[in-house]
Amino acid sequence: MGANSRTYKFALASALLEFAAQSRAEVTLDELAVPYAMSLVARQQGAPQAPSGSLMGDKDFLTVARQEAAESTRAGLLTERLLDAARRSMPTMVMRRFHNLGASEVPHLFYELVGPPRRMTVRLTPHLHAIAGSEQAAGLRNELNARWDIVESSFAAGIGRSLVDHGVAVDRATLRLTDKHRRRPVADALAGFQYGRCLICRTPLTGTDRIAVDHVFPYSLMRRFGTVSGWHGPDLDVIWNLAPAHERCNGTKSARLPTSEELWRLSRRNEAILLSPHPLKKTLQLALKGAGYHGRSGEWPDFLRQVLAACD
Protein backbone atom coordinates (compact mmCIF):
# COMPACT_ATOMS: atom_id res chain seq x y z
CA MET A 1 0.00 0.00 0.00
CA GLY A 2 2.88 2.40 0.59
CA ALA A 3 1.77 5.88 1.62
CA ASN A 4 -1.55 5.91 -0.25
CA SER A 5 -4.64 6.29 1.92
CA ARG A 6 -6.73 7.91 -0.83
CA THR A 7 -6.47 8.20 -4.61
CA TYR A 8 -6.65 12.00 -4.58
CA LYS A 9 -3.11 12.49 -5.93
CA PHE A 10 -3.93 10.47 -9.05
CA ALA A 11 -7.00 12.63 -9.71
CA LEU A 12 -5.05 15.85 -9.17
CA ALA A 13 -2.20 14.70 -11.42
CA SER A 14 -4.69 13.93 -14.19
CA ALA A 15 -6.30 17.37 -13.87
CA LEU A 16 -2.94 19.17 -13.83
CA LEU A 17 -1.79 17.38 -16.98
CA GLU A 18 -5.06 18.29 -18.71
CA PHE A 19 -4.61 22.02 -18.18
CA ALA A 20 -0.84 21.97 -18.81
CA ALA A 21 -1.50 20.29 -22.17
CA GLN A 22 -3.63 23.35 -23.03
CA SER A 23 -0.60 25.59 -22.28
CA ARG A 24 -2.50 27.30 -19.46
CA ALA A 25 -0.24 29.37 -17.21
CA GLU A 26 -2.80 29.43 -14.42
CA VAL A 27 -6.28 28.15 -13.62
CA THR A 28 -8.81 29.00 -10.97
CA LEU A 29 -9.43 26.52 -8.20
CA ASP A 30 -12.98 26.04 -9.49
CA GLU A 31 -11.67 25.15 -12.95
CA LEU A 32 -9.20 22.63 -11.55
CA ALA A 33 -11.85 21.12 -9.28
CA VAL A 34 -13.99 19.99 -12.23
CA PRO A 35 -11.70 17.38 -13.86
CA TYR A 36 -10.33 16.48 -10.43
CA ALA A 37 -13.73 15.60 -8.97
CA MET A 38 -15.16 14.15 -12.19
CA SER A 39 -12.30 11.65 -12.48
CA LEU A 40 -13.07 10.44 -8.97
CA VAL A 41 -16.77 10.31 -9.78
CA ALA A 42 -16.04 8.20 -12.87
CA ARG A 43 -14.23 5.62 -10.72
CA GLN A 44 -16.83 5.40 -7.96
CA GLN A 45 -18.54 2.41 -9.56
CA GLY A 46 -15.34 0.54 -10.36
CA ALA A 47 -13.39 0.09 -7.13
CA PRO A 48 -12.85 1.73 -3.72
CA GLN A 49 -10.84 4.94 -3.66
CA ALA A 50 -9.80 4.41 -0.02
CA PRO A 51 -9.21 1.44 2.28
CA SER A 52 -12.30 -0.24 3.68
CA GLY A 53 -13.61 1.46 6.83
CA SER A 54 -11.51 4.61 6.42
CA LEU A 55 -14.25 7.03 5.31
CA MET A 56 -15.26 9.58 7.91
CA GLY A 57 -18.98 10.15 7.49
CA ASP A 58 -20.99 12.51 5.30
CA LYS A 59 -18.34 15.25 5.32
CA ASP A 60 -15.65 13.01 3.84
CA PHE A 61 -15.00 14.15 0.25
CA LEU A 62 -15.23 10.60 -1.13
CA THR A 63 -18.58 10.18 0.61
CA VAL A 64 -19.83 13.36 -1.08
CA ALA A 65 -18.43 12.19 -4.43
CA ARG A 66 -20.21 8.85 -4.12
CA GLN A 67 -23.50 10.49 -3.11
CA GLU A 68 -23.31 13.01 -5.97
CA ALA A 69 -21.90 10.62 -8.60
CA ALA A 70 -25.17 9.68 -10.28
CA GLU A 71 -26.41 13.26 -10.67
CA SER A 72 -23.00 14.59 -11.76
CA THR A 73 -22.68 11.82 -14.34
CA ARG A 74 -26.21 12.37 -15.67
CA ALA A 75 -25.70 16.13 -16.01
CA GLY A 76 -22.12 15.88 -17.26
CA LEU A 77 -20.96 18.42 -14.69
CA LEU A 78 -20.42 18.68 -10.95
CA THR A 79 -23.36 19.29 -8.68
CA GLU A 80 -23.06 22.46 -6.62
CA ARG A 81 -22.59 20.37 -3.47
CA LEU A 82 -19.72 18.37 -5.01
CA LEU A 83 -18.05 21.46 -6.45
CA ASP A 84 -18.24 23.15 -3.05
CA ALA A 85 -16.77 20.07 -1.33
CA ALA A 86 -13.89 19.95 -3.82
CA ARG A 87 -13.30 23.70 -3.52
CA ARG A 88 -13.06 23.47 0.26
CA SER A 89 -11.02 20.27 0.54
CA MET A 90 -8.43 20.56 -2.24
CA PRO A 91 -6.27 23.44 -0.90
CA THR A 92 -6.15 22.05 2.64
CA MET A 93 -5.65 18.41 1.69
CA VAL A 94 -4.28 17.01 -1.58
CA MET A 95 -2.78 20.23 -2.90
CA ARG A 96 -0.69 20.69 0.24
CA ARG A 97 0.55 17.10 0.07
CA PHE A 98 0.93 16.50 -3.65
CA HIS A 99 4.65 17.31 -3.70
CA ASN A 100 5.44 15.21 -0.63
CA LEU A 101 7.85 12.34 -1.19
CA GLY A 102 8.30 10.46 2.05
CA ALA A 103 9.74 12.87 4.60
CA SER A 104 10.77 15.40 1.95
CA GLU A 105 9.40 17.03 -1.20
CA VAL A 106 10.04 16.46 -4.89
CA PRO A 107 12.81 18.82 -6.08
CA HIS A 108 10.58 20.76 -8.50
CA LEU A 109 7.13 22.14 -7.75
CA PHE A 110 4.46 21.65 -10.42
CA TYR A 111 2.12 24.41 -9.22
CA GLU A 112 1.79 27.23 -6.69
CA LEU A 113 -1.33 28.35 -4.82
CA VAL A 114 -1.89 32.11 -5.11
CA GLY A 115 -4.46 34.37 -3.45
CA PRO A 116 -7.07 34.05 -0.69
CA PRO A 117 -9.13 30.85 -0.31
CA ARG A 118 -12.31 32.16 -1.99
CA ARG A 119 -10.42 33.53 -5.02
CA MET A 120 -7.51 31.12 -5.12
CA THR A 121 -5.56 30.69 -8.36
CA VAL A 122 -3.36 27.71 -9.23
CA ARG A 123 -0.23 28.83 -11.07
CA LEU A 124 1.22 26.04 -13.24
CA THR A 125 5.03 26.03 -13.23
CA PRO A 126 7.44 25.57 -16.17
CA HIS A 127 8.36 22.15 -14.73
CA LEU A 128 4.78 20.93 -15.25
CA HIS A 129 4.63 22.40 -18.77
CA ALA A 130 7.93 20.73 -19.66
CA ILE A 131 6.54 17.33 -18.68
CA ALA A 132 3.18 17.89 -20.40
CA GLY A 133 4.95 18.81 -23.63
CA SER A 134 7.59 16.08 -23.56
CA GLU A 135 7.78 12.80 -25.46
CA GLN A 136 6.91 11.08 -22.17
CA ALA A 137 3.50 12.76 -21.85
CA ALA A 138 1.40 9.98 -23.39
CA GLY A 139 3.25 7.29 -21.46
CA LEU A 140 2.91 9.29 -18.25
CA ARG A 141 -0.88 9.37 -18.57
CA ASN A 142 -0.93 5.61 -19.15
CA GLU A 143 1.35 5.07 -16.17
CA LEU A 144 -0.80 7.27 -13.96
CA ASN A 145 -3.92 5.27 -14.81
CA ALA A 146 -2.11 1.96 -14.35
CA ARG A 147 -0.84 2.94 -10.90
CA TRP A 148 -4.32 4.17 -10.01
CA ASP A 149 -5.69 0.74 -11.01
CA ILE A 150 -3.10 -1.02 -8.84
CA VAL A 151 -3.85 1.09 -5.76
CA GLU A 152 -7.58 0.50 -6.25
CA SER A 153 -6.88 -3.23 -6.38
CA SER A 154 -4.87 -2.94 -3.18
CA PHE A 155 -7.76 -1.21 -1.44
CA ALA A 156 -10.25 -3.77 -2.76
CA ALA A 157 -8.10 -6.72 -1.65
CA GLY A 158 -7.17 -5.27 1.72
CA ILE A 159 -3.58 -4.00 2.04
CA GLY A 160 -2.61 -5.35 -1.33
CA ARG A 161 -3.05 -9.07 -0.70
CA SER A 162 -3.92 -9.78 -4.34
CA LEU A 163 -0.70 -8.17 -5.54
CA VAL A 164 1.68 -9.29 -2.83
CA ASP A 165 2.42 -12.90 -3.72
CA HIS A 166 1.20 -14.27 -7.05
CA GLY A 167 -0.95 -11.31 -7.98
CA VAL A 168 0.50 -10.44 -11.38
CA ALA A 169 0.38 -12.59 -14.49
CA VAL A 170 0.87 -12.49 -18.25
CA ASP A 171 -2.30 -12.96 -20.26
CA ARG A 172 -1.02 -15.39 -22.89
CA ALA A 173 -3.73 -14.49 -25.39
CA THR A 174 -2.96 -10.77 -25.45
CA LEU A 175 0.55 -10.66 -23.93
CA ARG A 176 -0.71 -8.09 -21.45
CA LEU A 177 0.54 -7.87 -17.89
CA THR A 178 -2.44 -7.77 -15.52
CA ASP A 179 -3.28 -8.04 -11.86
CA LYS A 180 -5.21 -11.24 -11.19
CA HIS A 181 -7.73 -9.63 -8.86
CA ARG A 182 -9.35 -7.34 -11.45
CA ARG A 183 -7.61 -8.19 -14.73
CA ARG A 184 -6.45 -4.60 -15.10
CA PRO A 185 -3.27 -3.96 -17.13
CA VAL A 186 -0.29 -2.93 -15.01
CA ALA A 187 2.58 -2.85 -17.55
CA ASP A 188 2.43 0.96 -17.78
CA ALA A 189 3.05 1.18 -14.05
CA LEU A 190 6.25 -0.82 -14.48
CA ALA A 191 7.33 1.22 -17.51
CA GLY A 192 7.59 4.30 -15.30
CA PHE A 193 10.32 2.63 -13.29
CA GLN A 194 12.14 2.04 -16.61
CA TYR A 195 11.95 5.78 -17.40
CA GLY A 196 9.23 4.98 -19.94
CA ARG A 197 11.75 3.10 -22.07
CA CYS A 198 12.03 -0.37 -23.57
CA LEU A 199 14.24 -2.57 -21.38
CA ILE A 200 15.91 -4.05 -24.48
CA CYS A 201 16.65 -1.11 -26.83
CA ARG A 202 16.25 1.74 -24.30
CA THR A 203 14.26 3.97 -26.67
CA PRO A 204 10.96 5.46 -25.40
CA LEU A 205 7.74 3.43 -25.31
CA THR A 206 5.29 5.76 -27.05
CA GLY A 207 1.53 5.70 -27.34
CA THR A 208 1.74 4.48 -30.94
CA ASP A 209 4.13 1.58 -30.26
CA ARG A 210 3.02 -2.02 -29.98
CA ILE A 211 4.11 -3.07 -26.50
CA ALA A 212 4.88 -6.59 -25.29
CA VAL A 213 5.85 -8.02 -21.91
CA ASP A 214 9.35 -9.45 -22.08
CA HIS A 215 10.49 -12.36 -19.91
CA VAL A 216 14.03 -11.11 -19.31
CA PHE A 217 15.08 -14.63 -18.42
CA PRO A 218 13.11 -16.58 -21.06
CA TYR A 219 10.15 -18.52 -19.74
CA SER A 220 11.20 -21.48 -21.89
CA LEU A 221 14.10 -22.13 -19.49
CA MET A 222 11.72 -23.64 -16.95
CA ARG A 223 10.26 -26.01 -19.55
CA ARG A 224 13.64 -26.86 -21.05
CA PHE A 225 15.37 -27.67 -17.76
CA GLY A 226 12.21 -29.21 -16.37
CA THR A 227 12.39 -32.03 -18.92
CA VAL A 228 16.02 -32.83 -18.02
CA SER A 229 17.02 -32.34 -14.40
CA GLY A 230 14.42 -29.85 -13.25
CA TRP A 231 14.59 -26.07 -13.09
CA HIS A 232 16.29 -25.02 -9.83
CA GLY A 233 15.84 -21.29 -10.22
CA PRO A 234 12.93 -19.05 -9.15
CA ASP A 235 9.63 -18.69 -11.00
CA LEU A 236 10.36 -16.77 -14.20
CA ASP A 237 6.73 -15.85 -14.82
CA VAL A 238 6.37 -13.26 -12.04
CA ILE A 239 6.90 -9.54 -11.79
CA TRP A 240 10.63 -9.37 -11.00
CA ASN A 241 11.39 -10.94 -14.41
CA LEU A 242 8.72 -9.16 -16.51
CA ALA A 243 9.46 -5.91 -18.31
CA PRO A 244 7.55 -3.78 -20.86
CA ALA A 245 9.35 -3.70 -24.20
CA HIS A 246 8.67 -2.95 -27.84
CA GLU A 247 6.93 -5.87 -29.50
CA ARG A 248 9.57 -5.94 -32.23
CA CYS A 249 12.41 -5.98 -29.67
CA ASN A 250 10.72 -8.76 -27.74
CA GLY A 251 10.26 -10.78 -30.93
CA THR A 252 13.89 -10.34 -31.99
CA LYS A 253 15.18 -11.27 -28.54
CA SER A 254 13.11 -14.46 -28.58
CA ALA A 255 14.40 -17.06 -26.07
CA ARG A 256 17.99 -15.86 -25.68
CA LEU A 257 19.48 -15.17 -22.27
CA PRO A 258 19.66 -11.51 -21.20
CA THR A 259 22.79 -9.48 -21.86
CA SER A 260 24.75 -7.98 -18.98
CA GLU A 261 23.30 -4.56 -19.85
CA GLU A 262 19.73 -5.90 -19.73
CA LEU A 263 20.41 -7.52 -16.35
CA TRP A 264 21.79 -4.23 -15.05
CA ARG A 265 18.66 -2.41 -16.27
CA LEU A 266 16.38 -5.02 -14.71
CA SER A 267 18.30 -4.75 -11.44
CA ARG A 268 17.92 -0.96 -11.44
CA ARG A 269 14.22 -1.20 -12.32
CA ASN A 270 13.52 -3.67 -9.51
CA GLU A 271 15.60 -1.64 -7.09
CA ALA A 272 13.58 1.48 -7.92
CA ILE A 273 10.31 -0.33 -7.19
CA LEU A 274 11.73 -1.77 -3.97
CA LEU A 275 12.69 1.72 -2.76
CA SER A 276 9.28 3.21 -3.62
CA PRO A 277 5.92 3.13 -1.78
CA HIS A 278 4.52 1.15 -4.73
CA PRO A 279 2.28 -1.82 -3.81
CA LEU A 280 4.34 -4.16 -6.02
CA LYS A 281 7.43 -3.69 -3.82
CA LYS A 282 6.02 -6.40 -1.53
CA THR A 283 5.96 -8.81 -4.46
CA LEU A 284 9.64 -8.15 -5.12
CA GLN A 285 10.56 -8.54 -1.46
CA LEU A 286 8.93 -11.96 -1.43
CA ALA A 287 10.84 -12.99 -4.56
CA LEU A 288 14.12 -12.14 -2.84
CA LYS A 289 13.17 -13.89 0.38
CA GLY A 290 12.09 -16.97 -1.54
CA ALA A 291 15.64 -17.20 -2.94
CA GLY A 292 17.24 -16.90 0.50
CA TYR A 293 17.77 -13.13 0.70
CA HIS A 294 16.44 -10.64 3.23
CA GLY A 295 14.24 -8.74 0.79
CA ARG A 296 16.22 -5.54 1.22
CA SER A 297 17.63 -2.91 -1.10
CA GLY A 298 20.92 -3.76 -2.82
CA GLU A 299 20.32 -7.49 -3.23
CA TRP A 300 19.13 -7.54 -6.86
CA PRO A 301 22.56 -7.89 -8.56
CA ASP A 302 23.39 -10.97 -6.46
CA PHE A 303 19.90 -12.42 -6.99
CA LEU A 304 20.13 -12.04 -10.78
CA ARG A 305 23.62 -13.57 -10.84
CA GLN A 306 22.19 -16.51 -8.91
CA VAL A 307 19.45 -16.94 -11.54
CA LEU A 308 22.02 -16.71 -14.34
CA ALA A 309 24.11 -19.40 -12.65
CA ALA A 310 21.04 -21.70 -12.61
CA CYS A 311 20.97 -21.41 -16.43
CA ASP A 312 24.48 -22.89 -16.83
Q: How much is the average pLDDT of 96-100?
A: 89
Per-residue pLDDT of 248-285, as tens digits, reads: 999 999 889 999 999 999 999 999 888 876 667 777 88
In this model, does residue 28 exceed pLDDT 90? yes
Provide the phi-psi class of 295: left if phi over 0, else alpha when psi is between -120 and 50, else beta: left
Give residue 237's pLDDT band: very low, low, confident or very high (50, 70, 90): confident
Q: Name the percent of the chain lying above pLDDT 70.
A: 81
> If you average pLDDT over every residue of the chain, what do you get?
83
Angle at 127 between CA 95 and CA 269, to 5 degrees: 90
Report the C-alpha gap between 217 and 222 in whole angstroms.
Answer: 10
pTM attached to this predicted model: 0.68
Per-residue pLDDT of 58-74, as tens digits, reads: 778 988 998 998 999 89
Q: How much is the average pLDDT of 129-140?
A: 86
Q: Closest Cα to residue 185, out of 156, 150, 154, 161? A: 150
Position 238 scores a pLDDT of 82
Name the residue with higher pLDDT: 164 or 78: 78
